[in-house]
Amino acid sequence: MEPRAIPSDGLAFRKMHGAGNDFVILDSRGMAAVCTPALARAVGDRHRGVGFDQLAEIRNGTDTDIILDFWNSDGSRAGACGNATRCVAAEWMAETGRDAVTIRTTRGVLRGEMRGEAVWVNMGAPVLDWRVIPLARDVELLHLPIAGDPVAVGMGNPHAVFFVDDIATVDVAARGAEVEHNPLYPQATNVEFVEVRSRDEVRMRVWERGTGITLACGSGACAVAVAAHQRGLTERHIRMEVDGGWLELDWCEDGVWMTGPVARVFDARLTPEFLDGL
């Protein structure tokens, strides 16, 4: 393995967000990967570091244009991060002048495309096998034996999707923290609460494992699109209001496509003093 190499003058990063779901982006192309659990925790601290919902590290691809690794703010690895994938895809296409990009993640190979002014990312096919999501045992995925009757979907991360009559009455922090570590989910789970407004529009709030409440969640939005259609509540193409704005989802034969806003906030550098000992 290549040695971890942090430049002597500190570590450059970019802050971005997609519908309020915010990220620190590290670009490790041309060098060894630098992120560790300790670094992710330190940078993710919103008081003593930078703060993020997820950290994404870009590496050189071999069979794809780039590789993306994802970290949560508690130092754990994330299996997928749809909004960060879309933000990185937008930056890469602007940088190269191309209108498509292939990205390898632990989720598999994902594809990003420019369609007019919008950046769409294919987050892959949903995982509908209890062993792969993973769950602790074989249960009916459309009606989990958890209070509230959620749906289980895998989108690189495990998800538990609850449909509610009035999302304003849901204590997302309390219920999300409780369900995150339900014994049925051996690797914990993201938790989504959804109010269906029509056949093509829903409202979603989310609790992300390893992070907490976030303003949006790309893999969670994809899981909701799948769960809602499976329950017969929506069509395959929907608009979704999240705490941070709007996303658009389209569950196609080749996977769940997602689009939404992309914003670059600032470029900065972590100081050598901050990085010392991490």
pLDDT of residue 93: 97
Which residues carry out catalysis? 81, 217
Domain ranges of the chain: 11-117+262-275, 151-253
Task: State both tokens at 257.
Answer: 């496509």
Higher pLDDT, 97 or 6: 97
Q: How far apart are CA 252 and CA 128, in angstroms?
A: 15
Q: How far apart are CA 276 and CA 278, in angstroms?
A: 6
**Identical topology for domains 11-117+262-275 and 151-253:** yes
Name the region of 108 (left: φ>0; alpha: ψ -120 to 50; beta: rest): left
To the question of domain 151-253 being in CATH 3.30.70.260, the answer is no
Sorted by sequence, the CB contacts under 8 Å of residue 171 that are 6+ apart come out as none
Q: How far apart are CA 258 and CA 250, in angstroms?
A: 6
Whether this model's pTM surpasses 0.85: yes
DSSP secondary structure code for residue 3 in this structure: P
CATH number listed for the domain at residues 11-117+262-275: 3.10.310.10
Q: Report the pLDDT averaged over residues 132-152.
A: 98
DSSP secondary structure code for residue 30 in this structure: T
For residue range 205-215, what is the model confidence (pLDDT) as tens digits?
A: 999 999 999 99
pLDDT of residue 181: 97
CB atoms within 10 A of CB 46: 10
H/E segment holding residue 227: helix 218-230
pLDDT of residue 278: 82
pLDDT for residue 2 is more than 80 = no
Task: Provide the percentage of residues in the chain whose pLDDT is more than 90.
Answer: 91
* CB-based contact 257:250 (threshold 8 Å): yes
Sorted by sequence, the CB contacts under 8 Å of residue 141 that are 6+ apart come out as 128, 130, 133, 151, 152, 153
Confidence of residue 28 (pLDDT cuts 50, 70, 90): very high
pLDDT of residue 112: 97
Average pLDDT value over all residues in the chain: 95
